[in-house]
Amino acid sequence: MKNMQTTAMPAMLYGTAWKKEMTSPLVEQALLQGFRGIDTACQPKHYHEAGVGEGIQAAVQQGIARSTLYLQTKFTSLNGQDPQSVPYDPQAPLATQVQQSIQVSLNNLHTDYLDCLLLHSPMPTVTETLQVWSVMEENVDKGDVLQLGISNCYNPSLLEYIWTSVRIKPAVVQNRFYAATQYDHLIRAFCTQHGLRYQSFWTLTANPDLLSHPLLARLSGAYQKSRAQVLFRYLTQIGVTPLTGTTSLRHMQEDLAVFSFSLSEQECAALTALLS
């Protein structure tokens, strides 16, 4: 019997991409500072998933229970992998690749279940996307995975088609949050309507113009918080779950401190206007 306990998704997640040999100590530090949600992927090209597991183990040894953590990883298709470090058999059938990837993630993270499994991006065809999803559903049935989602899905029609076609509905959409996609306003509206959680990544990196806007400067001064803190707080108040991948202890602490203040409805409305 798996030692599972459904853990609510935290309002902010710690992202682990591009950290290489620093992954383990940074994940440990993030957990000890108070993060309880970790995002990773079974994609050695950009993630050191085994290092994520090492960091989690180090934190667990210091008293943080697995049952309090929300662990989220991804199945990444061959076209998103480094051919020299594919974490599953590239010659195997697609369904086998998905299953092998999930098992690698369970081993890397030293856990017997995943709180959430994302399809890293839609497959080249809708048929393949639904095939992968079916295997992911089987792992929910077995108890290896608690919920499913998709990332890098910027086509509202495709998201709606997946939603209507699958047996176990996506619970999460994780996308880059930036002006080029109009801040995913249609996809976020779909998520709100159907009860999905929208997760944002590259929230700070991709938005220098937004962060430099006079409104952010004014709110930063009024609340004595950084502009990044104001943006993160706004997003959490409108139901977006931002990822932060900071390697700075101070920024980790500042990110977690966004819940110490709240923006008014009028201030949130003004910020929403900047995203339209």
Q: CATH code at 148?
A: 3.20.20.100
Q: Is residue 224 part of a domain?
A: no
Per-residue pLDDT, 3: 56
Q: Is residue 229 part of a domain?
A: no
Q: Is residue 230 part of a domain?
A: no
Distance CA 175, CA 159 (A): 12
Considering its fold, how many domains does the chain have in total? Answer: 1
**Each residue's pLDDT tens digit, 177-225:** 999 999 999 999 999 999 999 999 999 999 999 999 999 999 999 999 9
Per-residue pLDDT, 1: 43
What is the residue type of 88?
Y
Domain that holds residue 161: 13-207+240-262
Per-residue pLDDT, 180: 95
Of 240, 235, 245, 151, nearest in space to 205 by CA: 245
User: What three-state secondary structure class fits 257?
Assistant: helix
Distance CA 32, CA 110 (A): 18
**Each residue's pLDDT tens digit, 216-235:** 999 999 999 999 999 999 99
E strand residue ranges, 86-196: 116-119, 148-151, 172-176
**Each residue's pLDDT tens digit, 28-44:** 999 999 999 999 999 99
Q: Is residue 265 classed exposed, middle or buried when 0-12, 13-18 and 19+ CB atoms within 10 A define those classes?
A: exposed
Q: Is residue 99 part of a domain?
A: yes
Q: Is residue 65 part of a domain?
A: yes
Q: Is residue 58 part of a domain?
A: yes
* Those residues with Cβ within 8 angstroms of residue 161's Cβ, 6 or more apart along the chain or in another chain: 126
Phi-psi sector, 47: left (phi>0), alpha (psi -120 to 50), beta: beta
One digit per residue, the tens of pLDDT, for the chain of length 276 reads 455 566 799 999 999 999 999 999 999 999 999 999 999 999 999 999 999 999 999 999 999 999 999 999 999 999 999 999 999 999 999 999 999 999 999 999 999 999 999 999 999 999 999 999 999 999 999 999 999 999 999 999 999 999 999 999 999 999 999 999 999 999 999 999 999 999 999 999 999 999 999 999 999 999 999 999 999 999 999 999 999 999 999 999 999 999 999 999 999 999 999 998
Per-residue pLDDT, 265: 98
> Kind and range of the H or E element at 177?
none
Q: Is residue 270 classed exposed, middle or buried when 0-12, 13-18 and 19+ CB atoms within 10 A define those classes?
A: middle
Distance CA 212, CA 219 (A): 12
The number of helices, as runs of H, and strands, as runs of E, in the chain is 11, 8
Q: Is residue 171 part of a domain?
A: yes
Q: Is residue 247 part of a domain?
A: yes
